[in-house]
Amino acid sequence: MNKITAAITAVGAYVPDYVLTNKILETLVDTNDEWITSRTGIKERRILKDETKGTSFLAINAALDLIKKANIDPLEIDLILMATATADMPVASTGAYVATEIGATNAFSYDLQSACSSFLFGMSTAAAYIESGRYKKVLLIGADKMSSIVDYTDRTTCIIFGDGAGAVLFEPNYEGLGLQDEYLRTDGDGRDFLKMTAGGSLLPASEKTVVDNLHNIIQDGKSVFKYAVTYMADACEMIMKRNNLTHDDIAWLVPHQANKRIIDATANRMDLEDSKVLMNIERYGNTTSATLPLVLSDFEHLFKKGDTIIFAAFGGGFSWGSIYLKWAYDKN
């Protein structure tokens, strides 16, 4: 029997209706549209305004979008991986709730968290389950309600993040398509540069942590940018060298949507022309775990069977990496 590879066979997505534009942000913090656009590439981001709904709401809708478009029975799904940095609750699994709500009651599910690298690492995990031969349908969801941990008086973070969700289905492939190789890394020395200080076991929630505003994400923007530019580009260069790929071999770069300048630096290192670099950061900002599947959803119509796609991400932890995948289907 031919070797089993793990291929993406369907894509779904969901973003909230409310659009937070740069112009609106100008009324909240000391910033302006030109400054935000020139430094990040972001014009607007989507926000889930309903305070009674969490990340699971976004994830459920992305999963249902995939199920409808792919016309699959949720009961056939074996496993759901929930990539998120903003789980509904600290203990109860968001993925388990999502699985039940979409009718995937034969699946087991769990959450996977590595900040903005969560979905990339989830791709590796999903592929390993498929390649084991024990599972036929693995649903990987990337979803984050970043507005729940953003301080909208902090202009270093509130201009960057948005809410959204995306989902992909991994299935066995016997034509050599799907995930080919991965280069994934972490470095714990970077955790102080991008974090949410309170709410974990190190500093549990208390009246003081709330008063001191320690439950929102903070970042040292200059340090994060420096590391992200270097490490994301390094990972892509490594995956290309290891697989003897040139810029001509690559059909598309699907990068994490954190900052346009980081994406441009990565593309330049890979010697890729702009037409091969997929971006929707202008419309969504950084949706953390959802950026990669949202790019896939927005540009799925361009992909052709056999296309070589390079994925790249960088996140808190620090965590980063690159994945080389061959696309498995034509949209139409």
Catalytic positions = 116, 256, 286
**Strand order of the sheet with strand 308-315?**
178-186, 319-326, 308-315, 252-255
Q: What is the CA radius of gyration of the chain?
A: 19
Q: What are phi and psi of 163, to 5 degrees?
A: -110, 145
Question: How many angstroms separate the CA atoms of 294 and 38, rounded?
Answer: 22
Question: How many angstroms separate the CA atoms of 125 and 137, rounded?
Answer: 13
Query: Tell me, what amino acid is at 132?
Result: S
Question: How many angstroms separate the CA atoms of 36 and 247, rounded?
Answer: 30
Largest CA-CA distance found in the chain, in angstroms, rounded: 62
Report how far Cα 278 is from the mean position of its chain's Cα atoms: 14
Beta-bridge partners for 184: 321
Question: How many angstroms separate the CA atoms of 331 and 9, rounded?
Answer: 10
Question: How many angstroms separate the CA atoms of 171 and 4, rounded?
Answer: 9
Question: How many angstroms separate the CA atoms of 318 and 185, rounded?
Answer: 8
